[in-house]
Amino acid sequence: MTTPTPSKPQPDAPQAQLSSAAASANGRVPARAAAPALDVSATARAYAADAPLSLDEAPAAMEARNLNLHYGTKQALKNVSARLSRGSITALIGPSGCGKSTFLRCLNRMNDLIEGCKIEGEVFLEEQNIYARGVDVVKLRQRVGMVFQKPNPFPMSIFDNIAYGPRLRGIKKREQLAEIVEHSLQGAALWNEVKDDLKKSALALSGGQQQRLCIARALATRPEVILMDEPASALDPISTLKIEELMRELRQEYTIVIVTHNMQQAARCSDFTGFFLLGELVEVGASSKIFTDPGDKRTEDYITGRFG
Ligand SMILES: Nc1ncnc2c1ncn2[C@@H]1O[C@H](COP(=O)(O)OP(=O)(O)OP(=O)(O)O)[C@@H](O)[C@H]1O
Ligand SMILES: [Mg+2]
């Protein structure tokens, strides 16, 4: 843990482009509160220069409006609204059980698979409400890909893992598949490590390699949005850095949403950060602002390690 240093206000920090329906006027942080126990603000400042600039007019790749979600009688999301800016990385943080994964799964309808789960509200992918009648969920999940916390390669070769989605889309020609496989593995920074072993079982790869394989598999369907649920939590620091570098490269072409418990990681690699607490999206905005000058006392308490 670094020596506590008071964060400085960031007058030139970009304004939040993501809206939070739940952002409350009460509990706003006073001009500068006590010294934080955990200083992620320096990391956020170091990377802020690289973040996309402001905001309100930036086009949204996805937008959730007034999402309420119940598992049986338990409400896991409370009136969550957020815009996810195209071509950016948005990190979702918050204590365990606050609804981060639930929200992420709403973005490609993975919660549909859970019995007793009831969802109200709307989620737009570009112009389309993905919860509208008649939406093809398989196509939706090709456009909005997902990478899970635990790498889940299929029990087949590296090549067949990556070619799986394209084959489902009807691509059969070997040369075309080979091109997609190479391109996707390069995109996921894995090509050089596996190019001579494409027929090898994906299960024989290391954990970090398996995670990059899963990212390559997601890339192979040419998604617009990639959802990542704690993709580096089980990885060593070097593999973690590789995944982070990869995310920053991918954000040129994709919209990325990542759940992480690692606030240094959120500050290092995301453009925007949303803070969840007890099913509510308390606050969402430019990471450089959230980690240096959050608007809500609850966010401040969380990022400074006072609770959670
Ligand atoms: N399939 C499910 N059935 C019933 N309740 C669930 C289910 N999945 C999640 N929940 C509940 O919904 C709430 C939010 O869970 P969620 O997994 O979204 O939290 P999270 O923020 O991702 O937590 P973590 O950081 O531990 O992964 C929790 O109270 C959890 O117990
Ligand atoms: Mg989770």
CATH assignment of the domain containing 49 = 3.40.50.300
Output the CA 303–ligand 1 centroid distance in Å. Answer: 21
74 and 148, same domain (yes or no): yes
Render pLDDT for 213-255 as a digit per residue (tens, 0 to 9): 999 999 999 899 999 999 888 778 888 888 888 888 888 889 9
147 and 20, same domain (yes or no): no
Burial (CB count within 10 angstroms: exposed 0-12, middle 13-18, buried 19+), residue 265: buried
Q: Specify if 76 maps to a domain.
A: yes
126 and 29, same domain (yes or no): no
Q: Specify the ligand 1 atom closest to the Cα of 72.
A: 4
Protein residue closest via CA to atom 31 of ligand 1: 97
Output the CA 77–ligand 1 centroid distance in Å. Answer: 10
Protein residue closest via CA to atom 22 of ligand 1: 101
Q: Specify if 31 maps to a domain.
A: yes
Residue 56 banded pLDDT, cuts 50, 70, 90: low
Is the distance from the beta carbon of residue 99 to the nearest atom of ligand 1 less than 6 Å?
Answer: yes
pLDDT at 129 over 60: yes
Protein residue closest via CA to atom 5 of ligand 1: 71
Point out the least confidently predicted range of 38-52, 178-192, 292-306. Answer: 38-52
Q: Specify the ligand 1 atom closest to the Cα of 104.
A: 18
Point out the least confidently predicted range of 11-20, 87-96, 117-126. Answer: 11-20
Domain region containing 117: 42-153+221-291
User: Distances from the Cα of 76 to the Cαs of 209, 237, 279, in angstroms?
Assistant: 33, 32, 5
Is the distance from the beta carbon of residue 101 to the nearest atom of ligand 1 less than 6 Å?
Answer: yes
Protein residue closest via CA to atom 19 of ligand 1: 97
Is the distance from the beta carbon of residue 168 to the nearest atom of ligand 1 less than 6 Å?
Answer: no
Q: Specify if 8 maps to a domain.
A: no
User: Distances from the Cα of 122 to the Cαs of 41, 141, 247, 270, 287, in angstroms?
Assistant: 34, 17, 27, 25, 25
Domain count, the chain: 2
The single residue listed with the structure tokens 């989605």 is 165
Q: Specify the ligand 1 atom closest to the Cα of 114.
A: 1
Protein residue closest via CA to atom 27 of ligand 1: 96
Render pLDDT for 264-301 as a digit per residue (tens, 0 to 9): 889 989 999 999 999 999 999 999 999 999 999 999 99
47 and 109, same domain (yes or no): yes
Is the distance from the beta carbon of residue 274 to the nearest atom of ligand 1 less than 6 Å?
Answer: no
253 and 304, same domain (yes or no): no
More confident residue, 268 or 92: 92
51 and 117, same domain (yes or no): yes
pLDDT of residue 121: 97
Mean pLDDT of 20-46: 41
Q: Specify if 186 maps to a domain.
A: no
More confident residue, 233 or 203: 203
Q: Quote the crossing angle between the two packed helices 158-168 and 207-219, to the nearest 10°.
A: 20
**% of the chain with per-residue pLDDT over 70:** 81
253 and 144, same domain (yes or no): yes
Burial (CB count within 10 angstroms: exposed 0-12, middle 13-18, buried 19+), residue 237: exposed
52 and 68, same domain (yes or no): yes
67 and 32, same domain (yes or no): no
Q: Specify if 133 maps to a domain.
A: yes
Residue 119 banded pLDDT, cuts 50, 70, 90: very high
Output the CA 183–ligand 1 centroid distance in Å. Answer: 35
pLDDT of residue 246: 85
24 and 67, same domain (yes or no): no
301 and 282, same domain (yes or no): no
Q: Specify if 173 maps to a domain.
A: no
Q: Specify if 215 maps to a domain.
A: no
141 and 52, same domain (yes or no): yes
pLDDT at 191 over 90: yes
Q: Specify if 7 maps to a domain.
A: no
Q: Specify the ligand 1 atom closest to the Cα of 102.
A: 18
Q: Specify the ligand 1 atom closest to the Cα of 100.
A: 21
Nearest bound ligand to the CA of residue 94: 1
